[in-house]
Structure 1
Amino acid sequence: MSPATPLVPAVVVVHGALGSARQMAPVVEALRALRQFAEVVPVELPGHGETMLATGQPFEMTALADALGEAMARAAITRPLVFGYSMGGYAALVRELRAPGTSGGVVTLGTVLHWTPAIAARAAARLDASLIREKVPAFAATLAERHQGAGGWETVLAHTARLLRRLGDAPPLTDDTLAAIHCPVHLLVGDRDDSVSLRETAHAASRLPHARASLLAHTPHPIEQVDVACIAREVSDLAQRLSSGG
C-alpha cells in the first residue's frame, strides 16, 4: 500500500489531565510524519488550555467525553482512530461507551482505568495549587502559561480535583461497562509510569472484548518524556491491523 493511502479516515489526539492540545503537538507531528492518515486532529477538551467551559457546562468525565464526540462531529470526522493520553484515553473510552461506533479504534497511554474513592483522594490531593507553587514552581509556571485561556491554572486544578473525586465515587468505566466497548483497543503503559501499572492495565484489557495491553520500555508518565515515535508506531500498528481486518 502506498504511504499516501490512508488506512483510516483520521487520527484524533486527546491530551490528559492538566494538559492542552498544544502540549500534544509533538505527538501530532510524529503521526503526520507517517503520511499514513488522511488527517491528524488534536482536540482540546473544555476547561483546558485555550478552551473555556461554556456557561453551565460541567467539568466532569461524561461531559468531557461528550465534548470529544462533539469536536469530532464539528470536524466531520467519522470513526477515527483515537489516541488518548492519560485522562484523554479515559475520555475516549467513555465516549465509545456512551456512543458506540464513534471510534474505529482507541489507543491509550498511561490511562488509569480503575478508580476508587481512596485512589481518587490520593490523586486529588496532589492538585494543591499552593503546594505546587512552593514545591515545583517551574511546573506552576508551565501550567499558568498553558491555561491562560481556560480561566487560569488554579481553576483547572480545582476542577480536575473535583472530577477525580467524582470518578472515585461513581466511575463510568468498570469491569462491567468495559465489556460493552467493542471497538479495538490497545492500552499502553510505560515501565516507569508511577501512575498506573501493567497489572492494572492488563486487567482492564481482559475486560474489553477486543483489547490488548503493552508495556513500553524506558517510558515514564509525563508525555514530554515519552518517545513520540514509539507512540506513532503503536497507532500505526493498530491502523494497519484494522485495515487488514486483524
Structure 2
Amino acid sequence: MQNLVLLHGALGSAAMLEPLKEALQDTFEVYTLNFTGHGGSELPQQPFRMEHFTRDLIDFMDKEQLGSAHVFGYSMGGYAALSCALQYPERFQSIYTLATKFAWSAEAAAEEAKLLNPERMQEKVPQFAATLKLRHATQDWTQVVTHTAAMMQALGQHPILTPESLPTLQVPVQIAVGDRDNMVTVEESLWAYRLLPHASLQVLPATRHPFETLAVEGLSQQIRQFISRASVDFKIPNE
C-alpha cells in the first residue's frame, strides 16, 4: 500500500486526526505525528517557526523509513507540507491541503495573532481553552498559543509560499477550501491554485473551518479520489 501522512493544524494534535486515519487505513499505510510543541510534545524555548514543522515532517519520514509519501495537511499542516516539498520534492508523491491559509501578510498575521491571546480565550471561549489544556498536556497550552501567534507574525513578515516559490513545485496538489470558512478565503485558495503547475481546486459546500465539523467519510473519499488520479497521472507506484 502507498504511504499517507496526515498533518494537523495550528493548536491541533495528531489525536484529532485519528478518525480520518481509521477511515483511510484500509487503503493506505497511514501515519500521523505531532508537530513540535503540540499534543504534549516538548515545547521549544523559542517561538514556533514554520521551519520547525517542515523539519519535523522530514525527520518523521526518515524515522519511519518513508522514502516518499502522499501527504494530507489540514490548515497549517497544509502550509507545512507545501513548504517542505519546496525543499524535498522527491519525498512527496502528492499533497492534499484543506483549509490552508495562503495569504500571509503583516496585516493578516496581526489579525490572526490578535485572536491568540490566552487570557482572552479563557474569558471568551473557556470551553475551547479547556480543550487546549487537555490536548497539549503535559505542556502549558498558553505557551502553545503564544508560540503559534509568534509564528504567524513571522510568516506575515516572511511568507514561504510566494508567487516566486509556488510555480517551482512539481508535485500534484489538491487545494480544498470550505465555502463557509471564516479564516481562509476561496480567493486566496484560487490564488495558490493558479500559481501551482500541477494543482486542482475544490470548494466544499456548506463547510466551515473547524476540523471537528467535517464529515470524515466524505473527506476520506475525496482524499482517495485525488490520490488515485495523481497516481495515474504521475505514474506513482502502488507501494
Task: Please give the per-residue CA displacement for 1:134-167, whole angstroms capped at 9, x wherever unaligned.
Answer: 0110000000000113x21100001000000000
Deviating beyond 4 angstroms after TM superposition, the runs of 4 or more aligned structure 1 residues are none
2:113 equivalent to 1:120:
no
Equivalent position SS for 2:149? helix
Structure 1 residue aligned with 2:237: none
Structure 1 residue aligned with 2:219: 231
Task: Please give the per-residue CA displacement for 1:165-198, whole angstroms capped at 9, x wherever unaligned.
Answer: 0000001110111111110000000111101111
Equivalent position SS for 1:188? strand
Separation in structure 1 between the aligned mates of residue 98 and residue 141 of structure 2, nearest angstrom: 24
* Range that drifts further, 79-88 or 233-242: 233-242
Q: What amino acid does structure 2 have at the position aligned with 1:28?
A: K
* Range that drifts further, 201-210 or 58-67: 58-67
2:85 equivalent to 1:92:
no
Task: Please give the per-residue CA displacement for 1:49-89, whole angstroms capped at 9, x wherever unaligned.
Answer: 121146x6762001211111111111111221100000000
Q: What amino acid does structure 1 have at the position aligned with 2:191?
A: H
Structure 2 residue aligned with 1:108: 97
Give the one of 41, 47, 57 matched to 2:31. Answer: 41
Whether the 8 Å CA contact 2:36–2:52 is kept in 1: the answer is no
2:24 equivalent to 1:31:
yes
Equivalent position SS for 1:193? coil
Separation in structure 1 between the aligned mates of residue 222 and residue 93 of structure 2, nearest angstrom: 15
* Range that drifts further, 20-29 or 132-141: 20-29
Structure 1 residues 92-171: aligned runs within 5 Å: 92-149=81-138, 151-171=139-159
Please give the root-mean-square deviation of Cα atoms over the aligned residues, in Å: 1.3
Structure 2 residue aligned with 1:221: 209
Structure 1 residue aligned with 2:233: 245
Separation in structure 2 between the aligned mates of residue 73 and residue 236 of structure 1, nearest angstrom: 24
Structure 2 residue aligned with 1:20: 13
Equivalent position SS for 2:183? coil
Distance of aligned partners of 1:200 and 1:20 in 2 relative to their CA distance in 1, 3 Å threshold: same
Equivalent position SS for 1:176? coil
Q: Return the TM-score normalized by structure 1.
A: 0.92
Cα offset for 1:98?
1.5
Separation in structure 2 between the aligned mates of residue 120 and residue 102 of structure 1, nearest angstrom: 30
Separation in structure 2 between the aligned mates of residue 26 and residue 244 of structure 1, nearest angstrom: 27
For structure 2, the residue ranges without an aligned partner over 5 or more in a row are 235-239
For structure 1, the residue ranges without an aligned partner over 5 or more in a row are 1-5
Cα offset for 1:245?
2.3
Q: What amino acid does structure 2 have at the position aligned with 1:180?
A: T
Whether the 8 Å CA contact 2:47–2:150 is kept in 1: the answer is no
Q: What amino acid does structure 2 have at the position aligned with 1:51?
A: S
Whether the 8 Å CA contact 1:108–1:187 is kept in 2: the answer is yes
Whether the 8 Å CA contact 2:86–2:169 is kept in 1: the answer is yes
Q: What amino acid does structure 1 have at the position aligned with 2:230?
A: L
Whether the 8 Å CA contact 1:104–1:184 is kept in 2: the answer is yes
Q: What amino acid does structure 2 have at the position aligned with 1:36?
A: T
Task: Please give the per-residue CA displacement for 1:78-132, whole angstroms capped at 9, x wherever unaligned.
Answer: 2211000000000000000121212100001000011000000000000000110
Structure 1 residue aligned with 2:171: 183
Separation in structure 2 between the aligned mates of residue 200 and residue 58 of structure 1, nearest angstrom: 26
Whether the 8 Å CA contact 2:20–2:216 is kept in 1: the answer is yes
Whether the 8 Å CA contact 1:115–1:167 is kept in 2: the answer is yes
Q: Return the TM-score normalized by structure 2.
A: 0.94
Equivalent position SS for 1:148? coil
Whether the 8 Å CA contact 2:110–2:153 is kept in 1: the answer is yes
Cα offset for 1:25?
1.1
Q: What amino acid does structure 2 have at the position aligned with 1:238?
A: F
